Amino acid sequence: MAERTVVRSPNPVAQLEAGSNGKAFSPRVDIFETPSELLLFADLPGVSPQDIDLRYERGELHLRGKVAPPQSRPLVLEEFETGEFQRVFQIHESIDATKIEAEHKNGVLTVHLPKQESVKPKQVKVRAG
């Protein structure tokens, strides 16, 4: 499967839809491939699962949400992005969209993008002559 583009992210800084406050930041993402699935890891520190909007529509995986600025203490240094974020990934048809799952733990969103059975590697038994 390495010879094909399975996931593409064309624009690291996205424009939000009308009615929003303009630009969104783009969270950092790593994507790994295993024989059975793609794993997408999104770095989302300070985001609660309720503030994550993850959708699959027409061959695209949309990741949107909001990070609230810290309220409890005065900031001395600020490096984490706050505000709205958005990423869009074009998903190859070899991914089984009906089985996409996600979990959020310790500031990292993990998205499981399972491959369809037809594209998973298969062991071929070799019979003796």
**pLDDT in the model for residue 125:** 85
Q: How many CB atoms neighbour CB 84 within 10 A?
A: 18
Domains by residue range for the chain, with CATH: 10-116 (2.60.40.790)
**pLDDT in the model for residue 17:** 45
Which DSSP letter does residue 99 get?
G
In 3-state terms, what secondary structure has residue 98? helix
**pLDDT in the model for residue 2:** 42
* Average pLDDT, 10 consecutive residues per value, the chain (129 residues): 46 42 80 92 91 92 88 79 90 89 95 86 82
**pLDDT in the model for residue 19:** 40
Who contacts 3 (Cβ-Cβ below 8 Å, separation ≥6)?
none
Who contacts 103 (Cβ-Cβ below 8 Å, separation ≥6)?
109, 110
Q: Are the beta carbons of 97 and 56 closer than 8 angstroms?
A: yes
Tokens for 77?
A: 């240094």
**pLDDT in the model for residue 1:** 40
